[in-house]
């Protein structure tokens, strides 16, 4: 089996895992991986993560032209914005996961640090998460907003929509997205209870120990 075929299978396997655990439903959410030739392999538009066909994944060339598979997700501008501004990005995951969407709608959520540092792993896998305003789905302005961050964030939360997370490879992007959802869930479960999160000193220690970009 070729490396590309293995990657196609991996996308479908991880996507089904995401779907089966209720992290995104219906035909929502999308995944992409950057290929060695500069192109992108992505989930198609209108597809369910629970029933993806490896052979029908969208392949785009380095200029964004479809060269095989079904029509691409309309959220491709979100993905290319991360690839173009963060050289280390190898994959991007976008979900409509319930707790992170809920957190994006709460007025107390900090736009510059939407995911509170409740655990070391949220800091390690996400850094600071920027809350971006609402955009109509598919609006290229979403990609422009990510580009405006100049590669300083690996994850954003789209208001009333969901998270978009970049990782060095597909597994890293999926795990980070799951961490974002779980920390959002913790934040909502403990809201109003005065939870004791990490102190600034503890966050600094995690950042220093694991070399995290937490600007």
Catalytic residues: 75, 121
Which one, of 64, 213, 69, lies nearest residue 143 by Cα?
A: 64
Contact 105, 160 (CB under 8 A): yes
Which one, of 31, 24, 197, lies nearest residue 123 by Cα?
A: 197
Strand order in the sheet with 91-94: 66-68, 58-60, 40-42, 30-34, 91-94, 162-167, 155-158, 130-132
CA separation for the pair 72, 7 (Å, rounded): 17
CA 3 to chain centre: 23
CA separation for the pair 142, 160 (Å, rounded): 13
Contact 95, 88 (CB under 8 A): no
> Which whole-number Å values give the CA distances from 105 to 134, 161, 162, in the listed order?
10, 9, 10
């Amino acid at each position: 089996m070729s490396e590309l075929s293995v990657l196609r299978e991996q996308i479908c396997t991880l996507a089904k895992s995401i779907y089966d655990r209720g992290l995104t439903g219906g035909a929502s959410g999308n995944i992409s991986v950057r290929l060695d030739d500069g192109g992108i392999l992505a989930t198609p538009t209108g597809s369910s993560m629970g029933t993806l066909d490896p052979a029908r994944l969208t392949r785009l060339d380095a200029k964004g032209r479809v060269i095989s598979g079904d029509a691409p997700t309309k959220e491709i501008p979100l993905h290319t914005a991360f690839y173009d501004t963060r050289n280390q990005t190898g994959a991007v995951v976008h979900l409509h996961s319930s707790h992170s969407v809920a957190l994006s709608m709460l007025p107390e959520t900090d736009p510059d640090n939407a995911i509170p540092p409740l655990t070391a792993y949220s800091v390690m896998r996400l850094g600071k998460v920027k809350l971006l305003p609402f955009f109509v789905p598919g609006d290229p302005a979403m990609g422009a907003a990510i580009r405006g961050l100049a590669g300083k964030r690996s994850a954003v939360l789209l208001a009333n929509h969901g998270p978009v997370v970049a990782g060095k490879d597909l597994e890293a992007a999926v795990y980070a997205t799951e961490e974002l959802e779980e920390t959002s869930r913790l934040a909502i479960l403990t809201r109003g209870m005065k939870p004791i999160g990490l102190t600034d000193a503890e966050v600094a220690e995690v950042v220093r120990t694991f070399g995290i970009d937490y600007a």
